[in-house]
Structure 1
Amino acid sequence: MIKTVIMDWAGTMVDYGSFAPVEAFRQLFLDHGIEVSADVIRKPMGRMKIDHLRDICQDESVSKAWYSIYDRLPNEQDIQTMYEAFEPKLFSLLEQFAVPVPGAVELADRLHEQGITIGTTTGYTRAMLDVIVPEAAKYGYKPDSVCAPDEAAAGRPHPWMIYRNAEQLGTYPMSSIVKCGDTEADMEEGRNAGVWTVGVVFGGNILGLTEQETSVLNEQDKERMFNEVAERLKKAGAHYVISEIGKLDEIIEQINIHTEAGEVQWQN
């Protein structure tokens, strides 16, 4: 039986479309004379933010643009300097992007009513979470455990944040835990921890659509987009993929059927 669900934050439970990090990174590179596309910024989403920055700098289009301006490739000192400028940009945006996505608070309430605890992992640092967590609580989202990558040995795709949550919540075995998120890094993190993994599409980073943009999609486009994103999440390790976060408890019911039948090995 599932005892704990470990949620991602941006793009899963808050910040529909995961826009806060995208805007902060976009502004950061513009300050250095480089226009970086949203697709390039979103590709490493879910990683600890300084690792995310390193990944963007390694993108071919970004490294070429950097070389054309500075006559060399970006190095670690550049990354450290840029990250110092990045944090204030992101902090200035976080509070306005802490609103829960539709269905998130109601889902959390249903999980708690069933006795399922809620933990969290993220690409945000603890200082960033210290802005997001109390703001989300104003809207009624109050997870039972919160862990940031700078409080563990390493961030995603490593499993350490999930293990920290499990320890804090007293949850074991790992087969009694579900990890839910909107990025490939979330799925890799969950698989590496040996837990069930569920990807979410609409409201998430890979699509990167606003709630308004999603609402005007026709059913054919929605189905096509869902299938495209689901394929990416499954390749990264998702056992299940849901269209929206409010459907997670339906998947938990299915997982419980597997575990009650003794099919724990099904997750591997």
Structure 2
Amino acid sequence: MLGINALILDWAGTTVDFGSFAPTQIFVEAFQQAFGVEITLAEARVPMGLGKWQHIEALGKLPSVDARWQQKFGRAMNKQDIDAIYAAFMPLQIKKVVDFAAPIAGVTEVIDQLRAEGMKIGSCSGYPRPVMEKLVPAAAAAGYAPDYWVAADDLPVGARPGPWMALQNVIALGIDDVANCVKVDDSAPGIVEGIRAGMWSVGLAVSGNEFGATWDEYQQMSASEIDARRQIAAEKLYSAGAHYVVDTLADLPGVIAKINARLNNGERP
């Protein structure tokens, strides 16, 4: 029988940091610290999933941010500006990321279940290596440790939405067919990454960036607000090419069963 034998998992908003707050808040702080420019949390979320330098570059191109930047400096953001914001971002993110290292509810149980079934657990992130070197041991101490991880700046060809980090996992884990892998992510660039790598791509509509709520906020929401937010998030992830969209990683076993049936029916991603 054919079947999925590896998962390639994102980090913030997928396995740790419900709502993906560690990176978004730091972008707000880095813009303020480096140049005294205000950006909103909602703006900070728009390019989520990209490498962090590329994320800052994309933020500078948002019409609302660009208008504020032009008003203050009389020109568009340039490469030197991005470098300065990135330099402010890095120490803030390194310091803060450990506060968001706890696994999202259901993650450790699902990983244990899937590992018991023989599945390998890979991972990749929009975080650069210095941030990951703080996050990975903190997450391990809290109960989540994938078999392999790749940082956004590890590979010379770049990061998302290209396929390279996902494919580096395939090489490192010794997976013989990308069609036997599932890429799981809460952001559109991460979904595109999986598609371009030839994998099944599964989006998470509630635990991540597009839903954009803390765990406590989520627990206190009405069913109607949850449904409205879920629908908006799911539409973005499906538009990026997701084969399936579920709420959180805890829902993954059911999706894997459906994918396995499709594989055994001769389908590929």
| Cα distance in 2 for residues equivalent to 1:73 and 1:261 | 52
Q: Of 252, 259, 264, which aligns to 1:255?
A: 259
| Cα distance in 1 for residues equivalent to 2:51 and 2:208 | 17
Partner of 1:150: helix, strand, or coil? coil
Output the amino acid matched with 2:161.
Answer: P
Q: Indicate conservation of the 8 Å contact 2:206/2:233, yes or no.
A: no
How many angstroms does 1:108 deviate by?
Answer: 0.8
How many angstroms does 1:149 deviate by?
Answer: 2.0
Equivalent residue, structure 2, for 1:5:
7
1:141 matched to 2:144? The reply is yes
Q: Give CA-to-partner distance per residue, 1:26-67, whole Å, 9 cap, x none.
A: 111222222211121101101100000000011111111112
How many angstroms does 1:225 deviate by?
Answer: 1.8
| Cα distance in 2 for residues equivalent to 1:5 and 1:38 | 30
1:236 matched to 2:236? The reply is no
1:59 matched to 2:26? The reply is no
Equivalent residue, structure 1, for 2:208:
204
Output the amino acid matched with 2:229.
Answer: M
| Cα distance in 2 for residues equivalent to 1:61 and 1:136 | 35
Q: Of 164, 181, 200, which aligns to 1:160?
A: 164
Equivalent residue, structure 1, for 2:43:
40
Equivalent residue, structure 2, for 1:15:
17
Equivalent residue, structure 1, for 2:113:
110
TM-score norm. by structure 2 comes to 0.96
Equivalent residue, structure 2, for 1:30:
32
Overall identity of the aligned pairs, in %? 37
| Cα distance in 2 for residues equivalent to 1:235 and 1:74 | 29
Output the amino acid matched with 1:77.
Answer: Q
1:220 matched to 2:224? The reply is yes
TM-score norm. by structure 1 comes to 0.96
Q: Indicate conservation of the 8 Å contact 2:101/2:142, yes or no.
A: no
Q: Of 109, 117, 121, which aligns to 2:124?
A: 121
Runs of 4 or more, structure 1, over 6 Å off, are: none
Q: Indicate conservation of the 8 Å contact 2:97/2:134, yes or no.
A: yes
Q: Of 181, 187, 191, which aligns to 1:183?
A: 187
Output the amino acid matched with 2:67.
Answer: K
1:86 matched to 2:89? The reply is yes
| Cα distance in 2 for residues equivalent to 1:221 and 1:82 | 35
Equivalent residue, structure 2, for 1:171:
175
How many angstroms does 1:74 deviate by?
Answer: 1.2
How many angstroms does 1:222 deviate by?
Answer: 1.8
Q: Indicate conservation of the 8 Å contact 2:51/2:159, yes or no.
A: yes
How many angstroms does 1:201 deviate by?
Answer: 1.3
How many angstroms does 1:262 deviate by?
Answer: 1.4
How many angstroms does 1:224 deviate by?
Answer: 2.2
Q: What is the number of equivalent residue pairs in this alignment? A: 265
| Cα distance in 2 for residues equivalent to 1:215 and 1:108 | 23
| Cα distance in 2 for residues equivalent to 1:173 and 1:58 | 38
